[in-house]
Amino acid sequence: MIVLPTEIELATTTSSVLADTAFLMTELDADEAPAGPGWLHAAVGFQAALGGRLVLSMQKGIAIQAAADMLCTEPNDPEAGAQAAGAVLELANVLTSVVIARVFGGDAKWQFGIPERLDECPLATANQLSYSATLRNDAAQRVRVLLLLGKGANA
Amino acid sequence: MLSVLIVDDSFVMRRMVARSLLVSGVPAHETREAANGVEALSVVREVLIDIVLCDLHMPGMDGVEFVRRLGSDAHTADIPVVIVSSERSEGLLAELEDLGVRGFLRKPFQPAVLGELVRDVLGLKGAA
């Protein structure tokens, strides 16, 4: 059985993964953030009962903070800046596995791909179901998660 | 000194795993890193490795193929492998168990849990 997520469920799941993997504290942001310049994007395609794609977008500041936390260094360490995109890729990878397990169930069969960097956040087409949530940390830096399901979503 | 091979295409995750081994009190060890199965096979053929901590989804050669090839070589078949992955497919986990994988840890993980699993697989229970 497919259980489609609400915005709050998607936000809660994302917040939990960010906390457990990168020690980031975030909460649901009522404002839908347009992920434009200054954001880093990572996508993971998957195939289950429905094809799909999860896109994680993070403002560069919070992505650097995530990399610093994951590398046990400080945000002003050049390595944290250099690995910010890598941190977003890994967080997208972990988040995808958690989200698809919740959507399709723990017993379902699925496959998911290797995370890839995107230059911009994709838009849903008319054939796709789209679910998104925006989170923010206490410095008002934002994270956006977009789940696309349906035809062409994992292309 | 223990020799631990960390196999993951993510540099950030390799460092996280290495850091987790340190903070979880795994006895004196050195870590080596590989970004995929091809690199990992090269390492295990050149260096004595006590345990491999391996991701599954990697470009080049993934974790399943790496485990299969490791087990098919008499020189490396006894090296214990623990999978550290975000994979949640029960079918794939069963396949890995059949291939002789000794442990499985899902990302995200707590450092202490990784340390306990490594000590358990290496028969170092109580050693910290």
- ipTM entry: 0.83
CA distances for A102 relative to A98, A110, A133, B22, angstroms: 6, 12, 16, 32
pTM across the whole model: 0.90
Segment B85-106 shows an average pLDDT of 90
The Cα–Cα gap between A24 and B128 comes to 29
The Cα–Cα gap between A47 and B89 comes to 12
Give the pLDDT confidence score for residue A23 in this predicted structure: 92
Query: pLDDT over 90 for what percent of chain B?
Result: 83
For residue A110, the chain B residues in CB contact (below 8 A) are 89
Segment A5-24 shows an average pLDDT of 94
User: pLDDT band for position A155 (50/70/90)?
Assistant: very low
Q: Does A78 touch chain B (CB under 8 A)?
A: no
Residue A128 pLDDT more than 90? no
Say whether A83 and B12 touch across the interface (CB within 8 A).
Answer: yes
Segment B101-128 shows an average pLDDT of 89
Q: Does B16 touch chain A (CB under 8 A)?
A: yes
Show the CA angle centred on residue B55, arms to residues B48 and A143, nearest 5°.
140
Residues in CB range of A37: below 8 A, 6 or more apart: none
CB atoms within 10 A of CB A138: 8
The dihedral region occupied by A124, where left means phi > 0, alpha psi between -120 and 50, and beta the remainder, is beta
Residue A30 pLDDT more than 90? no
User: pLDDT band for position A117 (50/70/90)?
Assistant: very high
Amino acid at B108: P
For residue A54, the chain B residues in CB contact (below 8 A) are none
Segment B45-70 shows an average pLDDT of 96
Q: Does A114 touch chain B (CB under 8 A)?
A: yes
Task: Fill in the DSSP letter of residue B65.
Answer: H
Question: Is the model more confident about B118 or about A110?
Answer: B118
For residue A86, the chain B residues in CB contact (below 8 A) are 10-12
User: pLDDT band for position A152 (50/70/90)?
Assistant: low
Q: Does B11 touch chain A (CB under 8 A)?
A: yes
Amino acid at A145: V
Segment A86-101 shows an average pLDDT of 95
Q: What average pLDDT does chain A have?
A: 90
